[in-house]
Amino acid sequence: MGSFKSRLLIHHNIGQYACQKEPNSHSLLSLCYNFTSMKVLGIETSCDETAAAVVEDGVKVLSNEIASQVELHARFGGIVPEVASRQHILAIIPIIEKAIAKAETAWHDLAGIAVTVGPGLAGSLLVGVSVAKAIAAVQELPLTGVNHLEAHIYANWLCDEKPAFPLLCLIVSGGHSDLVLMRDHGNYVVLGRTRDDAAGEAFDKAARILGLGYPGGPAIDRAAESGTASIELPRAWLKGTSDFSFSGLKTALLRLVERGQVCHIADAAASFQEAVVDVLVSKTIASTKEHRVRQILLSGGVAANRRLRKHLVASSPIPVLVPEPILCTDNAAMVASCGYFRFQAGKRDGLDLDVVPSLKLA
């Protein structure tokens, strides 16, 4: 039953294919025709969020549970990897049970399990991957390992409007600022990436410089609300490339603070945010013209930034898809969605699945 069930799951949308292979069984036939939707359990533990979600057909969120470790790490001013993995161990089982219960799904209703294998913190990734493998073995469910960056892109399949190829995706997270051309599912060309600090990393460091605490991105976003972008800060355009660089900007802010030239923290936050957003938006729009794409997708934790969302939508001549903020920052619904499309493409992993902390997108 195990292997046939697996074939059914992968070919669920062409259920007749499976039925033709086993034409004599009544129960199998009914299973084929009842198999109209495919629920995937997603598991995410790459950094400091323990998350589990159930997504139907890659597009419909049935549950999306997140146990954040923000408070735990806040007193250290950043993520402590050892603390993160220990907390994942404590939180993972309750969060999966919650996701299954919220989705009103039984284990046997699941079509498969998708789990983040990288990039991320090795100890954190190991918790999610080990639990996913254990569940896959016990429940006899197909398993697929997901790239965290790919999952961030797939958060856009959870929006009301669905992505259309070819498209350009700007992934801006704590570790990445990547501009990616996507011509089809699973097909990625990285056009540009950060040469030093990622956008989220720059936000976090700037917040520390301004004494706004951790996590820095949301703190700058909030502080900027009551400020004006009146302080002149440098922008690294890196002309002729789609690459990004934010470390010069961060250093410029640090110098201003050291020289006592920042009077209003809110103005400094707004000016810093404007400089980052200006570069991200201008370079993304320039790239869309070069590659003639139909849509721009925004994803990753920094995509929750209100100024970035607004400015990109206002500046783009083509449609922009932006997931709701809870689907921009780390979550497992995006992992389940990505996993669904991997299952559709026949991409399955065995119980020898391992973590890849420095996994690349392409």
Cβ-based nearer residue to ligand KG4, 175 or 227: 175
Task: Report whether 179 contacts 198 (CB < 8 A).
Answer: no
Q: Do you find a cis peptide bond into 94, omega within 30 degrees of 0? A: no
Residue 214's binding partner among ligand KG4, Zn ion, none (Cβ under 5 to 8 angstroms by kind) is: none
Cβ-based nearer residue to ligand KG4, 163 or 323: 323
- CA dist 95 and 101 (Å) reads 10
- CA dist 312 and 303 (Å) reads 10
- CA dist 322 and 299 (Å) reads 7
Which of 44, 150, 178, 330 lies at the binding interface for Zn ion (CB under 5 A)?
330
Cβ-based nearer residue to ligand KG4, 55 or 304: 304
Task: Report whether 189 contacts 180 (CB < 8 A).
Answer: yes
The one-letter amino acid at 334 = M
Residue 218's binding partner among ligand KG4, Zn ion, none (Cβ under 5 to 8 angstroms by kind) is: ligand KG4
Residue 204's binding partner among Zn ion, ligand KG4, none (Cβ under 5 to 8 angstroms by kind) is: ligand KG4
CA 68 to each of CA 50, 85, 257, 300: distance values in angstroms, whole numbers, following the listed order: 6, 13, 31, 16
- CA dist 139 and 108 (Å) reads 8
Which of 305, 322, 332, 342 lies at the binding interface for ligand KG4 (CB under 6 A)?
305
Cβ-based nearer residue to Zn ion, 173 or 245: 173
H/E element, 113: strand 110-118
* Chain residues 150-189 in contact with ligand KG4, contact rule CB under 6 A: 173-175
Closest Cα partner for 229 from 114, 138, 331, 311?
311
**145 near ligand KG4, rule: CB under 6 A:** no
**173 near Zn ion, rule: CB under 5 A:** yes
Which of 126, 304, 335, 338 lies at the binding interface for ligand KG4 (CB under 6 A)?
304
Half-sphere exposure of 63 (CA within 13 A, CB side): 22
Cβ-based nearer residue to ligand KG4, 58 or 215: 215
| Per rule CB under 6 A, count of chain residues that contact ligand KG4 | 19
Cβ-based nearer residue to ligand KG4, 111 or 199: 199
Residue 58's binding partner among ligand KG4, Zn ion, none (Cβ under 5 to 8 angstroms by kind) is: none
> Using H for helix, E for strand and C for coil, what is the string for 313-355?
HHHCCCCEECCCHHHHCCCCHHHHHHHHHHHHCCCCECCCCCC
Task: Report whether 156 contacts 170 (CB < 8 A).
Answer: no
Cβ-based nearer residue to ligand KG4, 63 or 177: 177
CB of 121 to ligand KG4, least distance (A): 10
**150 near Zn ion, rule: CB under 5 A:** no
Residues that bind ligand KG4 (CB under 6 A): 47, 173-175, 200, 203-204, 215-218, 221, 300-302, 304-305, 329-330
Residues that bind Zn ion (CB under 5 A): 173, 330
